[in-house]
Structure 1
Amino acid sequence: MKTGKLVIGIFSIVLSVIIGFQSMIAGLGNTLSENGEAGGSGGFILGILMLVAGIVSIVQRSHRGNAPVIMFVIGGLLGLILAGSYSDLYIWSTVSLVFGAIILIFNIRNKKIAQQ
Structure 2
Amino acid sequence: MKKTIGILSIVIVPIILFQSMIVGAANTLSNDSTAVDGSAGVLLAVCLLVSGILVLASKKSRGTLITAIVFYTLGGLIGLAGAGIYRDLVIWSVISLIFATLLLVFQIIKPKRNKLDHK
Q: Do they superpose with TM above 0.5?
A: yes
TM-score (norm 2): 0.90
Q: Give the AA of the match of 1:87.
A: R
Do the aligned partners of 1:5 and 1:61 also contact (CA within 8 Å) in 2? no
Residues 91-102 of structure 1: matches in 2 within 5 Å? 91-102=91-102
Partner of 1:82: 82
Structure number with larger C-alpha Rg: 2
Query: Is 1:7 equivalent to 2:4 in the alignment?
Result: yes
Partners in 2 of 1:69 and 1:15 — Cα distance?
17
Moved over 3 A (4+): none
* 1:39-87 superposed Cα distances (whole Å, 9 cap, x missing partner): 0000000000000000000011433331111000000000000011110
- Where structure 2 has 5 or more consecutive residues not aligned to the other structure, the ranges are none
Query: Is 1:19 equivalent to 2:16 in the alignment?
Result: yes
Residues 9-88 of structure 1: matches in 2 within 5 Å? 9-35=6-32, 36-64=34-62, 65-88=65-88
- Where structure 1 has 5 or more consecutive residues not aligned to the other structure, the ranges are none
Partners in 2 of 1:71 and 1:11 — Cα distance?
15
* 1:80-100 superposed Cα distances (whole Å, 9 cap, x missing partner): 000111100000000000000
TM-score (norm 1): 0.92
